[in-house]
Amino acid sequence: MSTDPILTVSDLTVTFPDNNGGLRALDEVSFEVRSQEFICVLGPSGSGKTTLLRVLAGLFPPTAGEVNFGDHQQPRHGMVFQQSNLMPWRTVLENIRLPLELTGAADAESRARALIDQVGLTGFENNWPRDLSGGMAQRVSIARALIHDPDLLLLDEPFGALDALTRERMWMELSRIWQARQKTVVMVTHSINESLFLADRVLVLSARPGHIKLDLEVDLPRPRVDDIRYTPPFGQLARKLKAAIE
Protein backbone atom coordinates (compact mmCIF):
# COMPACT_ATOMS: atom_id res chain seq x y z
CA MET A 1 0.00 0.00 0.00
CA SER A 2 1.46 3.35 -0.99
CA THR A 3 1.60 6.00 1.67
CA ASP A 4 1.19 9.25 -0.24
CA PRO A 5 -2.09 10.95 0.73
CA ILE A 6 -4.63 11.02 -2.08
CA LEU A 7 -6.87 13.27 -0.02
CA THR A 8 -6.04 15.84 2.63
CA VAL A 9 -8.79 17.48 4.63
CA SER A 10 -7.66 20.42 6.73
CA ASP A 11 -9.70 22.36 9.28
CA LEU A 12 -12.90 21.66 7.42
CA THR A 13 -15.81 23.61 8.88
CA VAL A 14 -19.35 23.67 7.55
CA THR A 15 -22.01 26.03 8.86
CA PHE A 16 -25.55 25.95 7.48
CA PRO A 17 -27.50 29.19 7.61
CA ASP A 18 -30.40 29.17 10.06
CA ASN A 19 -32.35 31.65 12.16
CA ASN A 20 -29.92 31.97 15.07
CA GLY A 21 -26.42 32.51 13.83
CA GLY A 22 -25.97 29.39 11.72
CA LEU A 23 -25.95 25.69 12.41
CA ARG A 24 -22.46 24.26 12.63
CA ALA A 25 -22.41 20.73 11.23
CA LEU A 26 -18.66 20.15 11.03
CA ASP A 27 -16.01 21.77 13.19
CA GLU A 28 -12.37 21.92 12.06
CA VAL A 29 -12.19 18.37 10.79
CA SER A 30 -8.73 17.32 9.62
CA PHE A 31 -7.53 13.97 8.31
CA GLU A 32 -5.57 12.37 5.52
CA VAL A 33 -6.49 9.47 3.30
CA ARG A 34 -3.76 7.44 1.65
CA SER A 35 -4.16 5.90 -1.74
CA GLN A 36 -6.10 2.62 -1.69
CA GLU A 37 -7.01 3.05 1.93
CA PHE A 38 -10.42 2.02 3.23
CA ILE A 39 -11.69 4.59 5.73
CA CYS A 40 -14.86 4.29 7.75
CA VAL A 41 -16.52 7.28 9.40
CA LEU A 42 -18.59 6.53 12.50
CA GLY A 43 -20.63 8.99 14.49
CA PRO A 44 -23.99 9.68 16.07
CA SER A 45 -26.89 10.88 13.99
CA GLY A 46 -26.54 14.51 12.99
CA SER A 47 -22.78 14.57 13.50
CA GLY A 48 -22.22 15.71 9.93
CA LYS A 49 -21.19 12.45 8.26
CA THR A 50 -23.32 12.97 5.18
CA THR A 51 -22.26 16.60 5.08
CA LEU A 52 -18.62 15.50 5.09
CA LEU A 53 -19.17 13.15 2.15
CA ARG A 54 -21.06 15.78 0.20
CA VAL A 55 -18.18 18.23 0.63
CA LEU A 56 -15.70 15.55 -0.44
CA ALA A 57 -17.85 14.89 -3.52
CA GLY A 58 -17.66 18.57 -4.36
CA LEU A 59 -21.41 19.06 -4.08
CA PHE A 60 -20.93 22.28 -2.15
CA PRO A 61 -17.96 24.26 -0.82
CA PRO A 62 -17.04 24.20 2.87
CA THR A 63 -17.56 27.30 4.98
CA ALA A 64 -13.88 27.20 5.98
CA GLY A 65 -10.96 24.85 5.56
CA GLU A 66 -9.75 22.91 2.57
CA VAL A 67 -10.05 19.65 0.72
CA ASN A 68 -6.98 18.78 -1.36
CA PHE A 69 -6.70 15.86 -3.72
CA GLY A 70 -2.95 15.40 -4.03
CA ASP A 71 -1.96 15.61 -7.67
CA HIS A 72 -5.49 14.85 -8.91
CA GLN A 73 -6.99 18.21 -9.67
CA GLN A 74 -10.44 16.88 -10.56
CA PRO A 75 -10.70 13.49 -8.93
CA ARG A 76 -13.41 11.20 -10.18
CA HIS A 77 -15.93 10.24 -7.57
CA GLY A 78 -18.15 7.25 -7.31
CA MET A 79 -20.85 7.83 -4.76
CA VAL A 80 -23.24 5.35 -3.18
CA PHE A 81 -26.12 6.85 -1.25
CA GLN A 82 -27.99 5.64 1.78
CA GLN A 83 -31.00 4.84 -0.39
CA SER A 84 -29.99 3.13 -3.60
CA ASN A 85 -30.93 6.27 -5.52
CA LEU A 86 -31.47 4.65 -8.91
CA MET A 87 -33.29 6.37 -11.74
CA PRO A 88 -36.62 4.54 -11.93
CA TRP A 89 -36.96 5.22 -15.67
CA ARG A 90 -33.71 3.43 -16.47
CA THR A 91 -33.16 -0.31 -16.50
CA VAL A 92 -30.42 -1.88 -14.40
CA LEU A 93 -28.02 -1.73 -17.34
CA GLU A 94 -28.91 1.86 -18.19
CA ASN A 95 -28.50 2.96 -14.58
CA ILE A 96 -25.06 1.42 -14.34
CA ARG A 97 -24.07 2.96 -17.67
CA LEU A 98 -25.05 6.51 -16.65
CA PRO A 99 -21.62 7.80 -15.51
CA LEU A 100 -20.09 6.72 -18.83
CA GLU A 101 -22.88 8.36 -20.80
CA LEU A 102 -21.99 11.65 -19.16
CA THR A 103 -18.36 11.40 -20.18
CA GLY A 104 -19.07 9.71 -23.51
CA ALA A 105 -17.09 6.47 -23.34
CA ALA A 106 -17.45 4.15 -26.31
CA ASP A 107 -17.35 0.84 -24.46
CA ALA A 108 -20.05 1.74 -21.92
CA GLU A 109 -22.20 -1.25 -22.76
CA SER A 110 -19.52 -3.92 -22.38
CA ARG A 111 -18.11 -2.37 -19.20
CA ALA A 112 -21.59 -2.23 -17.70
CA ARG A 113 -22.14 -5.90 -18.52
CA ALA A 114 -18.82 -6.88 -16.98
CA LEU A 115 -19.73 -5.06 -13.77
CA ILE A 116 -23.19 -6.60 -13.70
CA ASP A 117 -21.42 -9.95 -13.69
CA GLN A 118 -19.12 -8.85 -10.93
CA VAL A 119 -21.91 -7.76 -8.58
CA GLY A 120 -23.90 -10.89 -9.38
CA LEU A 121 -26.81 -9.38 -11.27
CA THR A 122 -26.49 -11.31 -14.52
CA GLY A 123 -29.93 -11.83 -15.99
CA PHE A 124 -31.34 -8.64 -14.48
CA GLU A 125 -29.83 -6.25 -17.04
CA ASN A 126 -33.18 -5.18 -18.41
CA ASN A 127 -35.19 -5.09 -15.20
CA TRP A 128 -36.66 -1.87 -13.87
CA PRO A 129 -35.45 -0.73 -10.45
CA ARG A 130 -38.95 -1.20 -9.02
CA ASP A 131 -38.55 -4.96 -9.55
CA LEU A 132 -35.35 -5.22 -7.50
CA SER A 133 -34.95 -6.16 -3.86
CA GLY A 134 -33.16 -3.70 -1.58
CA GLY A 135 -29.91 -5.64 -1.75
CA MET A 136 -30.03 -5.93 -5.53
CA ALA A 137 -30.72 -2.21 -5.91
CA GLN A 138 -27.78 -1.40 -3.66
CA ARG A 139 -25.53 -3.64 -5.75
CA VAL A 140 -26.67 -1.78 -8.86
CA SER A 141 -25.69 1.49 -7.28
CA ILE A 142 -22.33 0.08 -6.25
CA ALA A 143 -21.74 -1.03 -9.83
CA ARG A 144 -22.78 2.44 -11.02
CA ALA A 145 -20.28 4.00 -8.62
CA LEU A 146 -17.48 1.82 -10.00
CA ILE A 147 -18.04 1.92 -13.74
CA HIS A 148 -16.15 5.11 -14.53
CA ASP A 149 -13.18 3.80 -12.57
CA PRO A 150 -13.26 6.55 -9.92
CA ASP A 151 -10.25 7.55 -7.87
CA LEU A 152 -12.34 7.83 -4.75
CA LEU A 153 -15.39 5.87 -3.65
CA LEU A 154 -17.71 7.70 -1.27
CA LEU A 155 -20.25 5.46 0.44
CA ASP A 156 -22.97 6.89 2.69
CA GLU A 157 -24.35 4.11 4.86
CA PRO A 158 -24.79 2.00 1.76
CA PHE A 159 -26.09 -1.03 3.64
CA GLY A 160 -28.21 0.75 6.23
CA ALA A 161 -31.48 -0.34 4.69
CA LEU A 162 -30.57 -4.01 4.36
CA ASP A 163 -31.31 -6.94 6.63
CA ALA A 164 -28.41 -8.33 8.66
CA LEU A 165 -27.81 -11.35 6.45
CA THR A 166 -27.75 -9.43 3.18
CA ARG A 167 -25.62 -6.75 4.78
CA GLU A 168 -22.91 -9.19 5.76
CA ARG A 169 -22.91 -10.70 2.30
CA MET A 170 -22.50 -7.19 0.91
CA TRP A 171 -19.51 -6.58 3.20
CA MET A 172 -17.78 -9.57 1.66
CA GLU A 173 -18.59 -8.40 -1.85
CA LEU A 174 -17.47 -4.86 -1.16
CA SER A 175 -14.14 -5.89 0.34
CA ARG A 176 -13.58 -8.28 -2.57
CA ILE A 177 -14.29 -5.51 -5.08
CA TRP A 178 -12.15 -3.07 -3.13
CA GLN A 179 -9.19 -5.44 -3.13
CA ALA A 180 -9.62 -6.47 -6.76
CA ARG A 181 -9.97 -2.91 -8.03
CA GLN A 182 -7.55 -1.16 -5.68
CA LYS A 183 -9.84 1.72 -4.77
CA THR A 184 -9.66 4.38 -2.12
CA VAL A 185 -12.84 4.31 -0.07
CA VAL A 186 -14.45 6.65 2.44
CA MET A 187 -17.50 4.99 3.91
CA VAL A 188 -19.97 6.36 6.44
CA THR A 189 -21.61 3.85 8.72
CA HIS A 190 -23.52 3.49 11.95
CA SER A 191 -22.20 0.04 12.66
CA ILE A 192 -19.02 -0.70 14.63
CA ASN A 193 -18.94 -4.24 13.27
CA GLU A 194 -19.23 -3.02 9.74
CA SER A 195 -16.38 -0.58 10.17
CA LEU A 196 -14.09 -3.20 11.72
CA PHE A 197 -14.91 -5.71 9.02
CA LEU A 198 -14.01 -3.36 6.22
CA ALA A 199 -11.77 -0.48 7.25
CA ASP A 200 -8.05 0.15 7.47
CA ARG A 201 -8.87 3.14 9.64
CA VAL A 202 -11.94 4.35 11.47
CA LEU A 203 -12.68 8.00 12.15
CA VAL A 204 -15.16 8.74 14.90
CA LEU A 205 -17.05 12.01 14.74
CA SER A 206 -18.41 13.63 17.87
CA ALA A 207 -22.01 14.77 18.24
CA ARG A 208 -22.82 18.06 16.48
CA PRO A 209 -20.80 19.99 15.62
CA GLY A 210 -18.80 17.04 14.35
CA HIS A 211 -15.09 16.97 14.97
CA ILE A 212 -12.78 14.01 14.93
CA LYS A 213 -12.82 12.33 18.30
CA LEU A 214 -10.84 9.24 17.43
CA ASP A 215 -8.66 8.18 14.49
CA LEU A 216 -8.23 4.44 14.92
CA GLU A 217 -5.90 2.20 12.91
CA VAL A 218 -7.51 -1.23 12.28
CA ASP A 219 -4.65 -3.71 11.91
CA LEU A 220 -6.74 -6.85 11.66
CA PRO A 221 -5.50 -9.36 9.08
CA ARG A 222 -7.22 -9.65 5.71
CA PRO A 223 -9.23 -11.23 4.26
CA ARG A 224 -11.49 -10.77 7.24
CA VAL A 225 -13.87 -13.65 7.59
CA ASP A 226 -17.00 -13.94 9.63
CA ASP A 227 -15.25 -15.45 12.66
CA ILE A 228 -12.99 -12.46 13.14
CA ARG A 229 -15.56 -10.75 15.34
CA TYR A 230 -14.97 -13.35 18.06
CA THR A 231 -11.20 -12.69 18.27
CA PRO A 232 -9.72 -10.59 21.12
CA PRO A 233 -8.19 -7.87 18.89
CA PHE A 234 -11.57 -7.29 17.25
CA GLY A 235 -13.18 -7.01 20.67
CA GLN A 236 -10.59 -4.52 21.88
CA LEU A 237 -11.02 -2.30 18.84
CA ALA A 238 -14.80 -2.51 19.13
CA ARG A 239 -14.61 -1.45 22.77
CA LYS A 240 -12.43 1.52 21.88
CA LEU A 241 -14.87 2.64 19.20
CA LYS A 242 -17.83 2.18 21.46
CA ALA A 243 -16.22 4.28 24.17
CA ALA A 244 -15.49 7.05 21.68
CA ILE A 245 -19.04 7.11 20.34
CA GLU A 246 -20.70 7.29 23.73
Ligand X SMILES: Nc1ncnc2c1ncn2[C@@H]1O[C@H](COP(=O)(O)OP(=O)(O)OP(=O)(O)O)[C@@H](O)[C@H]1O
Binding footprint of another protein on the chain (CB under 8 A): 54, 57-59, 74, 77-79, 81, 83, 85, 87-91, 98-99, 101-102, 128, 130, 148, 154
- Binds 135, which of another protein, Mg ion, ligand X, none (CB < 5 to 8 A, cut-off by type)? none
43 sits near ligand X (criterion: CB under 6 A): yes
- In whole angstroms, give the CA distance from residue 129 to residue 150: 23
Query: How many C-beta atoms surround the C-beta of residue 74 within 10 A?
Result: 8
47 sits near ligand X (criterion: CB under 6 A): yes
Size of the site for Mg ion (CB under 5 A): 1
Residue 206 burial (C-beta neighbours within 10 Å; 0-12, 13-18, 19+): middle
- Among 8, 35, 36, 50, interactor with Mg ion by CB under 5 A: 50
Looking at beta carbons only, is 78 or 210 nearer to Mg ion? 210
| Percentages (nearest 5) of helix, strand, coil residues in the chain | 35, 25, 40
Q: How far is the CB of 176 from ligand X (least distance, A)?
A: 26
Please, which residues bridge with residue 10 across strands?
66
Q: How far is the CB of 159 from ligand X (least distance, A)?
A: 14
105 sits near ligand X (criterion: CB under 6 A): no
Please, which residues bridge with residue 185 across strands?
38, 153
- Among 50, 63, 83, 193, interactor with ligand X by CB under 6 A: 50
Name the segment binding ligand X (CB under 6 A); options: 44-52, 62-70, 168-176, 215-223.
44-52
Query: How many C-beta atoms surround the C-beta of residue 70 within 10 A?
Result: 16
Report yes or no: 226 and 200 within 8 Å, Cβ to Cβ.
Answer: no
